[in-house]
C-alpha cells in the first residue's frame, strides 16, 4: 500500500521503469500469534513467505495499472524486492531505488508528492489524510517510532525522506507506513468510505434487503 502510494504520483508524471525495494517489516504484520519472540528478539528474519513474489509479480503492477473498462491493464515495470521481518512493533520501513522513463529532478519528485491528491483526498473522505504523502527533509527520517502516526489522520499517510541520486538507478529514498492502520483496518475503512461516496454501498444494502424479504 505505502510503496504504491509513493510511486503512483511519480509513475503518472515521469513513468517508472524499474524499482528495487528492501522492506523492514514490523512484527505486527505477521498477525496473531505472529513471530515467536525467541525468533525475532535481537534478530532480523530475512524472509517473509510470499511477500517478495507478491511485490515482484503482481501488486505494484496491478495498482499502478489502468482500468480499460473491462479489465486492469498492468503497469509495465520491473520490480525486485527483499522482504525482512524486524523487531519493530508497528510500521513498515522500505528503502527504494527507482529508474524513470523521463528522469525528473529531485525538486520535481518532491513536488509530485506534495501535489498528489488521489480520489479519497479529492472527495475529502473522513479517513483520507491531507496530504497523502509527507516528505521529511531531515537526513535521519522517517523512523517507525517517530513517524508511523504522522499526518492529519494518524497512521494513514505515507511518509518519505532521504531522496537522493542513485548510482545504479536514478534516485533512491526511504518510505514508512503504518501497516496495521493504513495497511489493514484503516485502509479497509477508507475503501468503505469510497464505496459509500460512489453509491455502491447503498445499492448493496438495497439488494441485501430485497434478498432478505424474498427469503
Of 10, 15, 187, 22, the closest CA to residue 94 belongs to: 22
φ, ψ dihedrals at 42, nearest 5°: 55, 40
In contact, 160 and 175? CB cutoff 8 Å: yes
Is residue 214 very low, low, confident or very high in pLDDT (cuts 50, 70, 90)?
low
pTM for the model: 0.90
pLDDT at residue 147 tops 60: yes
Q: Tell me how far CA of residue 33 lies from CA of 27, 29, 60, 177, in angstroms.
A: 10, 11, 28, 22
Is residue 36 very low, low, confident or very high in pLDDT (cuts 50, 70, 90)?
confident
pLDDT recorded at residue 208: 53
pLDDT recorded at residue 31: 81
pLDDT recorded at residue 39: 85
pLDDT digits (tens, 9 = 90+) for 40-77: 999 999 999 999 999 999 999 999 999 998 999 999 99
Tell me the pLDDT of the chain averaged across its residues: 93
pLDDT recorded at residue 207: 62
> Taking residues 79-97, what's their average pLDDT?
98
β-pairing, 16-25 vs 78-85, is parallel
- Domains of the chain, with CATH numbers? 2-214 (3.30.360.10)
Cell numbers 524499482 correspond to 19
Is residue 146 very low, low, confident or very high in pLDDT (cuts 50, 70, 90)?
very high
Is residue 210 very low, low, confident or very high in pLDDT (cuts 50, 70, 90)?
low
Is residue 86 very low, low, confident or very high in pLDDT (cuts 50, 70, 90)?
very high
Q: Is the dihedral of CA 13, 16, 20, 22 positive or negative?
A: positive
Percent of the residues in the chain that have a pLDDT greater than 90, as a whole number? 83
- Which 3-state string (H, E, C) describes the chain? CHHHHHHHHHHHHHCEEEEEEEEEECHHHHCCCCCCHHHHCCCCECCCCCHHHHHHHCHHHHHCCEECCCCEECCCCEEEEEEEECCCCCCEEEEEEEEECCCCCHHHHHHHHHHCCCHHHHCCCCCCCCCCEEEECCCCCCCHHHHCCCCCCCCCCEEEEEEEECCCCCEEEEEEECCCHHHHHHHHHHHHHHHHHCCHHHHHHHHHHHHHHHC
pLDDT at residue 100 tops 80: yes
pLDDT at residue 30 tops 90: no
pLDDT at residue 97 tops 70: yes
Cell numbers 518532491 correspond to 110
Amino acid at each position: 500500500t505505502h510503496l504504491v502510494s509513493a510511486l503512483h504520483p511519480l509513475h503518472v508524471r515521469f513513468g517508472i521503469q524499474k524499482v528495487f525495494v528492501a522492506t523492514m517489516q514490523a512484527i505486527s504484520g505477521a498477525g496473531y500469534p505472529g513471530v515467536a519472540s525467541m525468533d525475532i528478539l535481537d534478530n532480523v528474519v530475512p524472509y517473509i513467505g510470499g511477500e517478495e513474489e507478491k511485490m515482484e509479480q503482481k501488486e505494484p503492477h496491478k495498482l499502478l495499472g489502468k482500468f480499460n473498462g473491462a479489465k486492469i491493464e498492468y503497469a509495465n515495470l520491473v520490480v525486485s524486492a527483499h522482504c525482512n521481518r524486524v523487531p519493530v512493533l508497528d510500521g513498515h520501513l522500505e528503502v527504494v531505488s527507482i529508474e524513470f522513463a523521463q528522469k525528473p529532478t529531485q525538486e520535481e519528485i518532491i513536488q509530485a508528492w506534495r501535489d498528489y491528491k488521489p480520489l479519497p483526498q479529492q472527495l475529502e473522505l473522513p479517513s483520507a489524510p491531507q496530504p497523502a504523502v509527507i516528505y521529511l527533509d531531515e537526513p535521519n527520517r522517517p523512523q517507525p517510532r517517530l513517524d508511523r502516526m504522522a499526518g492529519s489522520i494518524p497512521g494513514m499517510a505515507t511518509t518519505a525522506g532521504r531522496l537522493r541520486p542513485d548510482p545504479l538507478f536514478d534516485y533512491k529514498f526511504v518510505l514508512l507506513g503504518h501497516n496495521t492502520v493504513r495497511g489493514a483496518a484503516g485502509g479497509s475503512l477508507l475503501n468503505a468510505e469510497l464505496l459509500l461516496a460512489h453509491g455502491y454501498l447503498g445499492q448493496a444494502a438495497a439488494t441485501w434487503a430485497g434478498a432478505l424479504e424474498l427469503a
